[in-house]
Structure 1
């Protein structure tokens, strides 16, 4: 990087902190800090949701998966097939229920429906898995950026940690959301510039380069991932990803908290619909960039030498830092920094929200009567989580890579059982708190056993397996125990719709059909892209 690039990067990072300071002027309570005063529009929230999923990790990993990774290719597009359907499920099953909650934690629902023990269980699971995952995300992001920027990994981690802790602690969720939007614009613009530059360098050589045809297949119907050791096949990616996305966007506090920041149910649903529409074009651009880079590696021996024997995730940053114009490199690297921090800052804010709502206020309810004191305490807790996760990242950096594998296993193992908890409470009036806790234990235990002893089963199946196990065990347990109390019945979907008969049926909602049609459009476009790419090489 040149001095100009460093100036651009430094200016951007200082500006992000300044954004947090500017937004903090409006904060008068934790409702402002954690939920933006519940006044954030659906488009803003939708872009933030998309930025968390298709930002730096996708930009780095998707093209690398297409161009270099063993067994990779444009079948990464199959990740997007389940998104619109997942948004429908969250819009009409989870959002109407969550919008009845008074606090900033979605796990409040678990107490309303099942009791305090279930709320504490879900909150503790979230804090454990999200805190550990955030440490790993910080480490892995810093690892890639440190190699590309020729900085020690500890230095890169410290910079990322300080900046993300600073603007999140000061600015709250509004700083997270608006920084997400800014970084997504910068990143996507950088990808478009990189795509144009790479194609212009290749010129007519692109059509004469032979790319492995297997990498150009967008859909894999020949595998099922249920014992054949194949993860990226059609069925595990569409069925498994439905559970993955519904669990992530709907039941993970780091994302669901954004839905609570909108003014009402319809605005939250609109945010999910917009998110379901804008993800695919961004991911498709990343995939096309990966195909071009696959050709670029063959056409440019010097570039191939730079990435030889390196982790495939170094592919995109190495290209950008060597071939993009001066100044643009600094801006894109700033975007990579900010995009890497987008998941981190969301975690800090959501971890703080859960700590305050589910634990502090339970043991010190009197603090709620002092809004400014509670706001200061919330910021201190955010700072605490930031320091804790940064310390965890340093520990991961000094440990073996198996730690990362274990954390990925933990996240996959918990997603299905947690989703089952919410849907069991919403759809089944008979399930009790004790039953659902027993189900969670059974579902997560089975997933860990599968990961340990049956690695041939794709981890994408863990979500459906954990979900079904948790739900079945909970139903069986409830049959032999006491029934749910009348109060808990009020927090089922039927009970809420009974209190709000004005809510329109999802079957009559045009947004449902728009997303269903869009699902088929995504699949058709993916097939067309595959056919066209097969015709270009040779």
Structure 2
């Protein structure tokens, strides 16, 4: 087992100290909960866009994507099909959700549901977010803790504490600004390390072309039009990844507080849309980079016959999620191993910090704050917000001990958890934004039935690709909501109060405002063109 040398520890200590100093500096500009949760609504497009990408480029991706590309059954470059949905999802968000939600000056997206439906709908959706996101975040903690244990020999428990202690502390101090600006730093470190590892793998494999030709042909297939994912044993076919991915990404970026909170922190609707636009353009190259690392890992493992035997065992089999960190331990010199661990820390922290802040925001705004009878002072609000961040940090770190073995790779685990509920959650917001007829009972019934139907598919029909759950859950939720709306009358209070025009996208004032703006049209055309370019590139790889 590798033991960190003094230089490695110095690099790690400098990184962690730098983060704490940044968080302490940013905390000086926080005076109330809006400063803490949405940065005073003064943030601009580039930091927001990089922060969004940093959360996506998490440890789950850095460990799971190369493992999926190189080793997972049914894996390979087909994962890149998933990214085709991102530009289209960004277009939908720029047109349908973000102009409306950002204009309302929300702190949590679930506040919209109370304005549009009622308090019950808001609390249920916020509670669902807390449960699902806390559990998914525990997977992130788990995946990085096993790497820390592997490199340092601290043991899993102390590795969780090491990761959690610094992440929670700088999150408690820095708030959303600390999250976003630290993500910019972390993303830079991570990309530099990924580029270096990709270069090493290409050099050891005889060059990029040689690595590509050596990689198994079946895993080089990037687009699979021949399967459909409905019981044919091929979860990662083109249509489930494109359509299921579209519903997943719209729900995740628009209706999940951990992502939407950063967009709500933007200085204006235009800045919010431009951040989404940048994410739609730049995310694919980042994902392609760590997928190429997977290609290089597959070739390296084939050329070094004993490499897989050096990986830690999980249920009697090599844990391929650890292939990249084990490679770095074996191949990188002293000092760069410390930097590699910093990069993995950065990947984990960029996901963990944003979730903790958003869980705190939802708890404070949707539950704690509204039920206090006396008026909050700004100081009390800020103190309570930080305590709630500390609380959720403790919860997610504890859950990390109970999340193993949900799926073959951590990348699939995260997406599988989200796919159970993403579609139904998106349905509730879509019905709120696009219809007048849907009322609270119908929306909640749709959410519950969509979620339960996805559970049924998971347990009773494992042959159906989990990617389809996002679309199926959405469709079931909408159909049930329509049926309940037709059969059951709204409450007396709902019947007397029609939704305000500001809460509906297709109201006449909103339509006039939307059509008068030209920037979103230009950005939408670029993103749709980018989608076509990426599709052609992936088909060419076949």
TM-score normalised per structure 1: 0.93
Name the SS of the counterpart of 1:193 in structure 2.
Answer: helix
Q: State yes or no: 1:253 paired with 2:260.
A: no
Name 1:290's counterpart in structure 2: 294
CA 1:182/1:498 → structure 2, altered by over 3 Å: closer, same or farther? closer
Unaligned stretches of 5+ in structure 1?
532-538
- Trace 1:39-438 onto structure 2 (pairs within 5 A): 39-203=42-206, 207=210, 210-307=214-311, 309-364=317-372, 366-368=374-376, 370-394=377-401, 396=402, 410-438=417-445
Counterpart of 2:471?
A: 464
Q: How far off its partner does 1:410 sit?
A: 4.8
Aligned: 1:488 with 2:496? no
Q: Secondary structure at the match of 1:455?
A: coil
* Among candidates 8, 13, 16, match of residue 11 of structure 2: 8
- Counterpart contact for 2:257–2:358, Cα < 8 Å: yes
- Tell me if the contact between 2:24 and 2:170 (Cα under 8 Å) persists in the aligned partners: yes
RMSD of the alignment, in Å?
A: 2.4
In 2: Cα distance, 1:469 partner to 1:517 partner: 31
- Once the two structures are superposed, residues 57-113 of structure 1 have per-residue CA deviations (whole angstroms, 9 ceiling, x without a partner) of 212211221111121111111111000000011111111221133441110010010
The equivalent position to 1:509 in structure 2, one of 521, 525, 529, is 521
Q: Tell me if structure 1 keeps the 8 A contact 2:454–2:473.
A: yes
Rounded Cα–Cα distance in structure 2 between residues aligned with 1:499 and 1:76: 37
CA shift, 1:322, in A, is: 1.6
Of the three residues 469, 478, 486, the one matched with 2:485 is 478
Output the CA distance in 1 between the equivalents of 2:525 and 2:209.
39
Q: How far apart are 1:283 and its partner, in Å?
A: 1.2
TM-score scaled by length of structure 2: 0.92
1:77–1:218 contact (8 Å) kept in structure 2: yes
Structure 1, 117-126 or 483-492: larger mean CA deviation: 483-492
The one-character-per-residue Cα deviations of 1:403-462 (angstroms, maximum 9, x if unpaired) are 999986553221111000000011111111111111111111111111111111111111
Offset of residue 249 of structure 1: 0.6
Q: Which has the larger displacement, 216-225 or 139-148?
A: 139-148
Instruction: Report the CA distance shift for 1:82/1:407 in structure 2 as closer, same or farther (over 3 A).
Output: closer
Contact preservation (8 Å) 1:240, 1:460: yes
1:443 to 434, 437, 450: 450
Please tell me whether the aligned partners of residues 504 and 510 of structure 2 are also in contact (alpha carbons under 8 angstroms): no
Give secondary structure in 2 for the equivalent of 1:488.
coil
Task: For residue 350 of structure 1, report the CA deviation from its aligned partner.
Answer: 0.5
The answer on whether the counterparts of 1:92 and 1:506 sit within 8 Å (CA) in structure 2 is no
Q: Secondary structure at the match of 1:99?
A: helix
8 Å Cα contact 2:117/2:439 also seen in 1: yes
- Note closer, same or farther for the CA distance 1:270–1:406 as it changes in structure 2 (3 Å cut): closer
When residues 320 and 428 of structure 1 are mapped into structure 2, their CA distance, relative to the original with a 3 A threshold, is: same
- Unpaired segments ≥5 residues, structure 2: none
Q: 1:307 to 1:410 in 2, by over 3 A?
A: closer
* Cα distance in 2, alignment partners of residues 517 and 97 from structure 1: 25
The answer on whether the counterparts of 1:197 and 1:324 sit within 8 Å (CA) in structure 2 is no
2:535 to 516, 523, 526: 523
CA distance in 2, matches of 1:52, 1:508: 24
Label 1:74 to 1:163 Cα distance change in 2 as closer, same or farther (>3 A): same
1:203 alignment partner, SS class: coil
Query: Does the 8 Å contact 2:45/2:274 carry over to 1?
Result: yes
Three-state SS of the structure 2 residue aligned to 1:28 is coil
2:35 corresponds to: 32
Look up the SS of the partner of 1:459 in the other structure.
coil
Residue in structure 2 matched with residue 536 of structure 1 by the alignment: none
Q: What displacement does 1:401 show?
A: 5.8
Q: After superposition, what is the alpha-carbon deviation per residue over 1:241-274, rounded to whole angstroms, capped at 9, x for unaligned?
A: 0011001111000000001100111110000000
Structure 1 residues 200 and 527: alpha-carbon distance in aligned structure 2, compared to 1, 3 A threshold:
same
Q: Quick check: 1:298–1:304 contact (8 Å CA) kept in 2?
A: no
Matched pairs, number: 527
Q: Distance in 2 between matches of 1:414 and 1:338?
A: 28
In the TM superposition, residue 476 of structure 1 has moved relative to its aligned partner by: 1.4
Offset of residue 206 of structure 1: 7.3
State which drifts further: 236-245 or 307-316. Answer: 307-316
